[in-house]
Structure 1
Amino acid sequence: MVVECTGKKSASTVQRRHNVLLLAEIANPEMVSVPLIGWCIAEALARQADVHLVTHIRNRPAIIAMDWQEGRDFSTIDTEAVVRTIFRVARFLGASDNRGWTIYQALAPIGCYAFEKAVWDKFRSALKAGAYDIVHRLTPMSPTTPSYLAARLKRLGVPLVVGPLNGGLPWPDGFADRRTREREWLSHLRGAYKWLPGYRATRRDAAAILAGSLHSLSELPEQARPRSFHFPENGIDPARFALRRTRRAQAPLRGAFVGRLVPYKCADVLIRAAQDMLRANALHLDIIGDGPERDSIAALVRELRVDQAVTLHGAVEHRQVQSLLVDCDFLACPSIREFGGGVVLEAMALGVAPIVADYGGPIELMDDQTGIRVPFASAQTLEEGFRGVISALLKDPARLDLLGDAAVERVRTLFTWDRKAEQIMQLYDWVRDGGSRPSLMPGIF
């Protein structure tokens, strides 16, 4: 889950320095996760540059509702027949709405090739005429999806920016059972994407590559490193995510889990870790989200006899999540394979301290002054780690207030969408004009 973003395209903008053809096959202000990220970055960039967005036709109604004019502000590409075929094949291979993510990603390059070829056919003349000084492929964000356009744009002399790319975080040891339950059998074969047509050309010919995580950055070839930048993809719109935690932590503490109820998110591990504190009424947990593990989570709550201290909220409309989260003392994120972790930023923006499993994207959004990391090597040590941290916080609840207050400032400084657009503008300047390599996000590792 990622944070909320909205806003009309301003009629009066500052003088624009770049003409950008922004490719975001997935960009939708009415959705969450990658589609919402794609839209929010596009909308923020459009306040600072002359941006023409190219997206899939399915996003058209939602973008028009934001007062963007088709033809002037954005164009659409219709590859719906290809997308439907991909979904049918993915379902045949065992994927579902909540499981089998790797299956979808293995097939995604087919749709991206079709989308980018259609973009090339539609905009080739304008690109040859110099109408755009930069092409930025914003989504898809999967590192396994090469660009059809990379070599073609290089021949035209039009720089291509790719990313942020994020994904492919390896499963940690000790969680084979959860990988099986997630139907992630294809994850063993993920390295095959390096043989896809366009893989080498994308990394060779892109003028700059944004990596959404340190893992994704580490997977880029050595030749691409001088043109690659660590740039977490998530962000916050403070105008829309405006609530602020005012309660001060004291026993009984209130914690929250926010996310899909699927095996790798480990909501069950959190409940088991906290069971003694829940039974003693020293802690209340709000479980916000739904998914295929909902029934087993409910059964676990009954089995552990903690019904009175655990509230299963089920699915909550994304804009309403903050109204529940803001009344909590901490967010628990025990997920063992989280690429981005936008919910961590949501909590931080509210002043709610995050407690996260020490692996993957979430730990790259916070530091030791704004959150707590829980090291682990197995499901057992993950459970023990969360139990130890929460027990210690019951003895020192004021620490949560200090962490939460610092988290608000960190988000304001680094992670608003407008701040992130400014950072991308620095990258565009460097791509076009050269000079010293920019430091896009000082303070992030």
Structure 2
Amino acid sequence: MTGQPTTDDQPPAPRRRVLVIAEAANPELVSVPLVGWSIANALRAHHDVHIVTQIRNRDAFLRAGLVAGRDFTAIDSEAVARPIWRLAEILRMGEGKGWTMVTALYSKLAYPHFERKLWRQFGRRIAAGEFDIVHRVTPLTPTASSLIAPRCARAGVPFVMGPLNGGVPWPKGFDAERWREREWLSYVRGLYRLSLGRRRMIRAASAIIAGSRHTASEFAAARNRLTLIPENGIDPARFSMRADQPGTLPIRCAFVGRLVPYKGPDMLIEAAEPFLRDGSMVLDMLGDGPLMPALQEMVSARGLTHAVTLHGWIDHKDLQALLSRSQLLTFPSVREFGGGVVLEAMALGVVPVIADYAGPGELVTPGTGIKVPMGSRAEVIAGFRKALAALIAAPQTIPALAAAALARVEQHFTWDRKARQIGKIYDWVLDPKGPIPQPVPLSGE
């Protein structure tokens, strides 16, 4: 990437006419659909936006107050999308694993069908200059090519894509977790870079927004058009509570996420066991998944039931009430693309203690949280135990970290801030003077 970091404290950008492609966008879901919706909807406050999404999101858009035809168009691609999802569920046996395979099936088969239908409906309008910019927000995966990108280039309409994220390599020493997640296809994921469609898309794109440094590294051929904006953000209305930070013991910690091997809930319990046992720490585990029975047995066998509460699945709208009870988010996930839960904790004034790898390692900067060096499973456990011991020895240091974490989120990671950051990219695309802006300083910058 090139260019210098910019700030958000500048005059508002002019309104642009933007066709936003957000095939996955839904305010009532989480993960990618919530990201797609949140970015597209935030852009509406600053630009004249028409959103194109998939038909399954139509009712949620209507419930959110948008008007079909005026504010958005829902493309019915279910003839291909539905059987692809069914096939994916069969192949991963309904257990929420094998996401590389699911992404490959959908991005190579279902999504191209969606774009073909989109172009039939909007191609003439794009070519006629009805839109200043076409911005593909989802799919977030960098493996999904776009047939629309070169068509927009031929029509003289800038095509922006991103934030793109995904494909973070599995860290060394975690092959067992990789196989338990059925991530067999991840061993050959890099073959997608040979795709002719991908090369055409990259050549045609006016700007590429990467959600992480790893994803940015996959677009080295477009460095002069590449910027970095993490895809996750915060809705201040949804995360408005503030954690109590007394700076005293015991410290209440939280784990949030699916109970699966790569997120490390068992590693966390092992690392925290001495502090859970002596009463200097209590732990809330928010989430469900295939590891739940093993974790229940682990907690019981080690005599930690007085200090560890396994809450099970939590609705996202109820998350802040539970998470804001904690002082720390203890999150040893070893393969997290974006790390949205890290930003959610920071927005509540909860200090993140994370494995320094991929998304979370880029979001947490010195003074806003604690980063445990990545290593083998044993090294991660030892690193978390050391970090927790240091905080328990000096709990009075936690409130300052919490305040800095909250300030960082408010400055860079609300959805409105993100829309303003993307607006700077639009300005540059339409008048490319100097290097492409780099709006968000990440850890190490």
Q: Normalising TM by the smaller chain, what interval? A: over 0.9
Q: Secondary structure at the match of 2:333?
A: coil
CA contact (8 A) 2:245 2:398 kept: no
Counterparts of 1:5-404 in structure 2 under 5 Å?
A: 17-94=15-92, 96-109=94-107, 110-222=109-221, 224-404=222-402
CA contact (8 A) 1:251 1:283 kept: yes
CA contact (8 A) 1:24 1:38 kept: yes
Shift in Å at residue 443 of structure 1? Answer: 2.8
* Cα distance in 2 for residues equivalent to 1:216 and 1:229: 11
Distance 1:414 1:138, change over 3 A: same
* Cα distance in 1 for residues equivalent to 2:419 and 2:26: 17
* Cα distance in 2 for residues equivalent to 1:221 and 1:376: 25
Shift in Å at residue 194 of structure 1? Answer: 1.7
Q: Gaps (5+ residues) in structure 2?
A: 1-11
**What is the percentage of aligned positions where both structures have the same residue?**
50
* Cα distance in 1 for residues equivalent to 2:76 and 2:356: 41
CA contact (8 A) 2:262 2:335 kept: yes
Q: Secondary structure at the match of 2:306?
A: helix
Q: CA RMSD in A?
A: 1.3
* Cα distance in 1 for residues equivalent to 2:337 and 2:396: 30
* Cα distance in 1 for residues equivalent to 2:13 and 2:168: 40
* Cα distance in 2 for residues equivalent to 1:387 and 1:295: 24
Q: For residues 201-245 of structure 1, give each alpha carbon's deviation from its aligned partner in whole angstroms, at most 9, with x where no partner exists.
A: 1111100000000000011132x1100001100111113311112
* Cα distance in 1 for residues equivalent to 2:302 and 2:37: 42
* Cα distance in 2 for residues equivalent to 1:156 and 1:306: 64
Higher relative contact order (CA 8 A, sep 6+): 2
Q: For residues 4-30 of structure 1, give each alpha carbon's deviation from its aligned partner in whole angstroms, at most 9, with x where no partner exists.
A: xxxxxxxxxx99621100000000000
Decide which moves more: 94-103 or 176-185: 94-103
Q: For residues 257-301 of structure 1, give each alpha carbon's deviation from its aligned partner in whole angstroms, at most 9, with x where no partner exists.
A: 000111110000000111111111111000000111111111111
* TM-score for both structures, normalised by structure 2: 0.95
Q: For residues 25-60 of structure 1, give each alpha carbon's deviation from its aligned partner in whole angstroms, at most 9, with x where no partner exists.
A: 000000011100111111110000000000000000
Q: Secondary structure at the match of 2:330?
A: strand
Total equivalences in the alignment: 431
CA contact (8 A) 2:364 2:371 kept: no
* Cα distance in 1 for residues equivalent to 2:410 and 2:398: 19
* Cα distance in 1 for residues equivalent to 2:195 and 2:74: 26
Q: Secondary structure at the match of 1:308?
A: coil
Shift in Å at residue 97 of structure 1? Answer: 4.3
Letter in 1 for 2:391: L
* Cα distance in 2 for residues equivalent to 1:438 and 1:170: 27
Q: Secondary structure at the match of 2:117?
A: helix
* Cα distance in 2 for residues equivalent to 1:310 and 1:279: 10
CA contact (8 A) 2:335 2:358 kept: yes
Distance 1:432 1:188, change over 3 A: same
